[in-house]
Amino acid sequence: MRLTKPTLFTNIPVTCEERDLPGNLFTQLMKDDPSTVKGAETLMLGEMLTLPQNFGNIFLGETFSSYISVHNDSNQVVKDILVKADLQTSSQRLNLSASSAAVAELKPDCCIDDVIHHEVKEIGTHILVCAVSYTTQTGEKMYFRKFFKFQVLKPLDVKTKFYNAETDEVFLEAQIQNITTSPMFMEKVSLEPSMMYNVAELNTVDTAGESESTFGSRTYLQPMDTRQYLYCLKPKQEFAEKAGVIKGVTVIGKLDIVWKTNLGERGRLQTSQLQRMAPGYGDVRLSLETIPDTVNLEEPFDITCKITNCSSERTMDLVLEMCNTNSIHWCGVSGRQLGKLHPSSSLHLALTLLSSVQGLQSVSGLRLTDTFLKRTYEYDDIAQVCVVSSEVKQS
C-alpha cells in the first residue's frame, strides 16, 4: 500500500431559499453535518481528513513511500522468511529493502511489516517488485513475487533564457510552470552557480529595510501558472581578468527547486548543468568601463575603455584612430601607438569627446589597427549617451 498524506474532506453544499418547499431543511442538515465548518457551512471547506482512496499521482522529485506486509495465512509455522523489495525503472533496478536479513520464523496469523522510501529521480514507468522466499515445515523452499506498476509524472516545466551584458555579466531568466492539477507552495528556487561565477538573486525588493519576495508573502503557484525568476551572474575576479578563459560553451550552474503540496508533502528537483554560448568577441574586444548617463551639449566629457587581447597565442601592437561622426567629436590625438598587448591581457584607456547634437547619441568611430597583421577592427555604437542643452547663466 502506498503511504500518502490524507486530504481534507470537502462537502458539496446544497441550499435553497427560505420560501422554497424545503424551507430551512437543507441549511439545518448542513449545520448538523460533522464534516462542515461551523459558521461556514455553505462553503466547500472541511476540517476532517480523508484517507487515500486510490494510488494517486506521483511526481518526479517527490518521495515514494510504501507499506509492505507479509501475512502468514496458513496454520503452520514457516521459517527463514526473506522479504525483498526492488524498484525497476527504465534505466536501473534499485533495492529498497531496509534489511537483507531473513526472519527466523513466522507463526500463523502473524505478519512481517516494512516501510520503504525512495526519492523519485526518473519519469516514466516504475515497477515495485516484492519477492518473498520461505521454508515450510517439511523443508520445502517456496518463493513468490508480486508486481505493482505505476507512472511517474513531470511536475514542472522549466525553461531558461540567457542575456549577455557588455560588462561580462550574465542574466538568467528561469520560467517555471506548474503542470500538475493542484496548487504548489514554492519553498525555494535558487541557482547554484559554477566555479566561474558569483550569483545575485533579483527576486526580492527591499521594503522598510526588509527583503520581500516580488511574488508576495504567499508564494503559491496555481495549476498551469508560470512564474519568472531572474538571476545575475558575475565572473569571479580570477576569471574576469583572463579574457580568453570565458569562451565558447560555459557551464552556468543548476537550478534547485523545492516545493510543497498537499499537507506539506515535499518535492525537490535539480536541473542538469545549464550551459550557454559565450558571445564571440574576435581577436580584440573593446568594452566601456565608465561613461556618464547625461552630458551637456558641446561640453567635453570623459569615458574609460578597456581593450582586451582575446587571442591565447599572439601579441598585438595596436594603433588607435578616432573618427568623428555627425554628432560625436573626439578630443585628442588620433593614430597614436598603444604599445604591445600580450595574449589574454588588457589595458585601460581614458578618452575625451563632446557632442554637437542634442538627444540620445551613439558613441562611435573608434578604430584599432594591429600593425603586425595590418588588420583594422572597427567599433561603432559602443554605447549611448543623453545630450542635453547646458544651462545659460544669467548676468
CA angle at 386 for the pair 385 and 390, rounded to the nearest 5°: 125
Q: What is the mean pLDDT of the chain?
A: 85
Quickly tell me which residue has 525588493 as its cell: 205
How many CB atoms within 10 Å of residue 60?
Answer: 18
The answer to whether residues 139 and 249 belong to one domain is no
Q: Long-range contacts for 163-170 (Cβ within 8 Å, ≥24 apart)?
A: 164/276, 164/278, 164/279, 166/287, 166/288, 166/383, 167/287, 168/234, 168/235, 168/240, 168/246, 168/287, 169/232, 169/233, 169/234, 170/197, 170/232, 170/233, 170/252, 170/276
User: What is the C-alpha separation between 79 and 135, in angstroms, rounded?
Assistant: 5
Cβ pair 285, 308 in contact under 8 A: yes
How many CB atoms within 10 Å of residue 157?
Answer: 12
pLDDT surpassing 80 at residue 7? no
Residue 394 lies in a domain: no
Q: What is the pLDDT of residue 98?
A: 73
DSSP bridge pairs for 63 = 119
CA angle at 96 for the pair 60 and 88, rounded to the nearest 5°: 60
For the stretch 103-150, pLDDT in tens is 888 898 999 888 889 999 999 999 999 999 999 888 889 999 999 888
**Residue type at 289?**
E
The answer to whether residues 263 and 301 belong to one domain is no
Quickly tell me which residue has 595590418 as its cell: 374
Residue 199 lies in a domain: yes
Local structure of 26: helix, strand or coil? helix
Number of domains in the chain: 4
Task: Tell me the three cell numbers of residue 150.
Answer: 505505476
The answer to whether residues 130 and 190 belong to one domain is no
pLDDT surpassing 50 at residue 392? no
Q: Which of 173, 190, 187, 189 is nearest to 218 (CA)?
A: 187
User: What is the C-alpha separation between 163 and 276, in angstroms, rounded?
Assistant: 10
Rg (CA), the chain: 35
pLDDT surpassing 80 at residue 208? no
Residue 265 lies in a domain: yes
For the stretch 159-177, pLDDT in tens is 999 887 767 788 999 999 9
Residue 255's H or E segment, with its range, is strand 249-260
For the stretch 253-269, pLDDT in tens is 999 999 998 888 899 99
User: What is the C-alpha separation between 30 and 32, in angstroms, rounded?
Assistant: 5
The answer to whether residues 240 and 342 belong to one domain is no
The answer to whether residues 64 and 47 belong to one domain is no
The answer to whether residues 302 and 378 belong to one domain is yes
The answer to whether residues 90 and 50 belong to one domain is no
- Residue 73's domain comprises 58-153
The answer to whether residues 104 and 210 belong to one domain is no
**Mean pLDDT within 197-225:** 85
pLDDT band at 206 (very low <50, low <70, confident <90, very high): confident
Quickly tell me which residue has 525568476 as its cell: 229
pTM above 0.85, yes or no: no
Q: Which of the listed residues 278, 309, 333 is the one where a domain comes to its end?
A: 278
Residue 123 lies in a domain: yes
Quickly tell me which residue has 435553497 as its cell: 16
Residue 18 lies in a domain: yes
How many CB atoms within 10 Å of residue 308?
Answer: 20
For the stretch 266-314, pLDDT in tens is 999 999 998 887 666 678 888 888 899 899 998 999 999 888 887 778 8
Residue 100 belongs to domain with CATH number = 2.60.40.10
DSSP bridge pairs for 353 = 301, 330
Q: What is the pLDDT of residue 303?
A: 92
The answer to whether residues 237 and 258 belong to one domain is yes
Residue 111 lies in a domain: yes
The answer to whether residues 171 and 269 belong to one domain is yes
The answer to whether residues 269 and 340 belong to one domain is no
Question: For the CA atoms of 279, 283, 286, 287, what is the dihedral angle to 10 degrees?
Answer: 30
The DSSP 8-state label assigned to residue 309 in this structure reads E
Q: 373-385 in b/e burial notation, b at 16+ Cβ within 10 A?
A: eeeebebeebeeb
Q: What is the pLDDT of residue 394?
A: 37
Cβ pair 394, 301 in contact under 8 A: no
Q: Which of the listed residues 278, 310, 336 is the one where a domain comes to its end?
A: 278
Q: What is the pLDDT of residue 395?
A: 38
pLDDT surpassing 70 at residue 246? no
Residue 393 lies in a domain: no
The answer to whether residues 135 and 245 belong to one domain is no
Cβ neighbours of residue 4 closer than 8 Å, sequence gap 6 or more = 52, 56, 65, 265
Q: Which of the listed residues 228, 259, 278 is the one where a domain comes to its end?
A: 278
For the stretch 353-391, pLDDT in tens is 999 999 999 999 999 998 888 888 888 888 889 999 876
Residue 395 lies in a domain: no
